[in-house]
Amino acid sequence: MTMKVKSFDIFDTCLVRKCGEARNVFDILAERAFVRPVASECKHAFVVARIEAETKSWSSTQTLMDIYNAFWYKHSDLRSTEELIELEKDVEREMLCPVHSVTEYISSLRKKSNRILFISDMYLGADFLQPILQKAGLWQEGDTIYVSCEIGATKASGSLFEYIRQKENIAYRNWHHYGDNAHSDVQVPKKLGIHAHFVSHDYTPYQLSMRQQPSLQYQWGGMLAGISRSIAMQSERTAHNDFVLDIIAPLFVTFVYRVMANAEQHGIRNLYFCARDAYPLYRIALKMQSLFPKIHVSYLYISRKSLYEGEDTNKLGYFEQIGLASCSGGNAIVDVRSSGRTLPVLNDLLTSNGFSSVYGYFFEVSPTSSEQLQGLNYYAELDDLYIQNLSVALRKLPSNWYMYELYFPLNTQKRTIGYEYDGKEYRPVLDTEDKKEYRLANLQECVEWRNWALDRYAEDFLQLGLHNYADEIFSMYALPQLAEFFLYPDKYYLGALREFNSLHPDRGYIPYVDNSLLRLPMNVLKHKTMWKRGTIFYSLPTWMSRFLYRNK
């Protein structure tokens, strides 16, 4: 029986980097390369020297030691060559993530008795790569790794394939190779008679946009795109998943960091994230709490119903028990958006009973809500005063409040309807029926994935040091990208909203968007969908949507 051989390129085929491009590894390395903090110009010079050293020392047997032997940059606080080599390996380990679809495919090949090989033109050897592949679930005992630096042959020249053919004693016609490089993984093996398969883990439209945005020295956009793509690659890729990672995650993660940094600056000691909408923000804040040791993060069971109804004794008892009702101040609530009612009612209750008022942090406050909040201490990323001086696209952001309130903070938390005392402590009373203002067929599955993805995004955001540039990322990427979506929605992301039904006050549950060209006149004229503009872009032929987008 003829042995069936399937070989796989490693980088950007089996594994992707959460920082995006390989070059971005050096930006992260530069943050650790010095024994003491140095100016950004020094870090940039280090990156340039590292890239040049790789080019200068290139050969088919090039190793990491060869690269650093050609490294010319000198600095009194720079770590030793040996330390830099180990640090670079550490960064690579941290950055590499498995591609779920490739892992699943290799698993299916094993069941059919295929021999699995891993091949790479790389300066890192098999002893480094094998444990990473094994941890990722890609490697099994009996597999073999062939790396150019150890053999002195490359895929690009074809010599590595010829070496493997002889070593494995296989015929090219019985060999299938998979990789992402059009030349070394497709053209070269095809010429030899190997069945070559191009593997592409494409960036989404907004990830491509982030990568193309200019940034000084540190590649913020490329790293943001890398985080989103790498998390998406670790599970099934869908429009919903990419919507969360490309639009919601950058927005929520930078917002939470900015809130916590602002709270620390103003001496706020306790942040209470309001149920239910702020639950995703609360999870992100828990990931960031180690950066703000003076701030305590809590989940606050509260709703307009629980504030307006029931006995004040129970409300105050619960608030005092969790520390929200305090005479010493230093407390703030956090929510996705404000209706303009919760904060005034809460503060009236607290101050009329001798407690300090609380501060409010909101992502969005509508113009009408701003009027109700006058005289209160609060901060909003989007409010009437902030958006007046922005672009047309950004000025339209508050009109999409329905999305911020329902789809963006999607969760399965129960609504708080009151408070009770059981003789020992005060407890929130949760609604058992909990009628929602939206419907989504696979809600539980979507929420579980979102929780996992937002946790991962926050962790990777911190690991890559992007929190140091949170203000720039929020203003340069997260907010403009959100405005771009609402003004010229990309059809790919609109697919995430296809199954999302919102509760209309007169028509019951109706789709948020629809993609039927035949139903388009009725959808627009008779308000059969919640978002008219999204429905128009979603229903038009792709070429027409692209034309409108490109000629905006």
The reply to whether 493 and 436 lie within a common domain is no
Please answer whether residues 422 and 437 qualify as being in contact, where contact means their C-beta atoms are separated by less than 8 angstroms: no
Task: Report the domain count for the chain.
Answer: 3
314: closest CA among 163, 425, 214? 425
The reply to whether 183 and 251 lie within a common domain is no
Per-residue confidence band for 374, with pLDDT thresholds at 50, 70 and 90: low
Q: Give exposure, 323-362, as e/b (b: 16+ Cβ within 10 Å).
A: ebbbeeebbbbbbbbbbbebbbebbebbeeeebbbbbbbb
What's the rounded Cα separation, in Å, for the pair 315 and 321? 10
Per-residue confidence band for 504, with pLDDT thresholds at 50, 70 and 90: confident
Please answer whether residues 102 and 199 qualify as being in contact, where contact means their C-beta atoms are separated by less than 8 angstroms: yes
Q: What angle do CA 424, 427, 431 make, to 5 degrees?
A: 150
The reply to whether 195 and 324 lie within a common domain is no
Condensed to tens digits (0 to 9), the pLDDT of residues 353-373 reads 999 999 999 998 876 665 666
The reply to whether 290 and 167 lie within a common domain is no
**Percent of all residues in the chain with a pLDDT value above 70, rounded to a whole number:** 92
Q: Over 70: is that where the pLDDT of 420 sits?
A: yes
Amino acid in the structure at residue 464: L
Mean pLDDT of the chain: 90
Q: Can you tell me the mean pLDDT for 27-33? A: 94
Give the C-alpha distances (Å, rounded to integers) separating 518 from 491, 507, 523, 524, 540: 17, 21, 9, 11, 10
- What pLDDT sits at residue 398? 64
The reply to whether 430 and 494 lie within a common domain is no
- What pLDDT sits at residue 389? 53
The reply to whether 159 and 266 lie within a common domain is no
Q: What is the 3-state secondary structure (H, E, C) of 380-438?
A: EEECHHHHCCCCHHHHCHHHHHHHHHHHCCCCCCCCEEEEEECCCCEEEEECCCCCCCE
The reply to whether 395 and 283 lie within a common domain is yes
What's the rounded Cα separation, in Å, for the pair 116 and 103? 12
Residue 19 lies in a domain: yes
Beta-bridge partner residues of 335: 362
Q: What would the two tokens of residue 148 be?
A: 């150019």
Segments forming the whole domain that contains residue 42 = 1-201
What is the end-to-end Cα distance of the chain in Å, rounded?
A: 61
The reply to whether 265 and 196 lie within a common domain is no
How many residues are present in the chain?
Answer: 552
The reply to whether 22 and 129 lie within a common domain is yes
DSSP designation for 78: B
Q: Name the pTM for this structure.
A: 0.92
- What pLDDT sits at residue 506? 79
Q: What would the two tokens of residue 492 be?
A: 């790919």
Condensed to tens digits (0 to 9), the pLDDT of residues 121-178 reads 999 999 999 999 999 999 999 999 999 999 999 999 999 999 999 999 999 999 999 9
50: closest CA among 149, 150, 157, 123? 123
